[in-house]
Structures are given as structure tokens and as C-alpha cells.
Amino acid sequence: MLVKLIIELAIGGLCGFAANKIMNGNSSSIIRNVILGLIGGFVGGLIGNLLGIGGGWVTGILLSIGGSCLVIWIARKLIR
């Protein structure tokens, strides 16, 4: 159980890091990347379920990165 949680946090951090780089972010905070990855994974999972997409590791990671990019974009629009 603890190992699964650690793996999920690591994958969330990597997805948040990838989304940060895709969106030309300047933050290198590990905690911010993990939070972005986890929120993005949730958002990406919701979008994937609505569209009927999902079912694998690669699809989940791509949806997490896409969801993280969407979260970054929305946050930038709200801050301005």
C-alpha cells in the first residue's frame, strides 16, 4: 500500500514536471510539480472517462500530463 502511494507520487511529480516544461514554466519546485501532476491526473482521468479513453499506464500518463497542462493554463488565465 505504501509502495503504491510512493509510486503514484513519483509518477505525479514526473507528469507535473513534464507539463511544466511543455507550458514553459519557470518553477522547479518538486512539491509544486507533484501537486500539479496529481491534480492533472485527476482532471485528465475525468476527461478520459468522459471521452471513453483509458485503460493503460501510457494512456494514464498522457492524460495526466494533458490534465496538468490544462490546470496550468487555467491558473495562468485566472491569475492575469
Other beta carbons less than 10 A from residue 59's beta carbon? 13
Smallest CA-to-CA distance from 14 within 64, 73, 50 is with: 64
For 71-80, write each residue's pLDDT tens digit: 888 888 888 7
d(CA 1, CA 51): 30
Q: What range defines the domain where residue 51 resides?
A: 2-79
Evaluate if residue 60 carries a pLDDT over 80.
yes
Segment among 11-15, 52-56, 69-73 with least mean pLDDT: 52-56
The better pLDDT of the pair 25, 66 is held by 66
Q: Is the pLDDT of residue 27 over 70?
A: no
What is the phi-psi region of residue 30: left when phi exceeds 0, alpha when psi lies from -120 to 50, beta otherwise?
alpha
Helix (H, G, I), strand (E, B) or coil at 24: coil
Average pLDDT value for residue range 14-43:
83
Residue 27 in 3-state DSSP? coil
Q: Tally the domains of the chain.
A: 1
With 70 as the cut, is the pLDDT of residue 10 above it?
yes
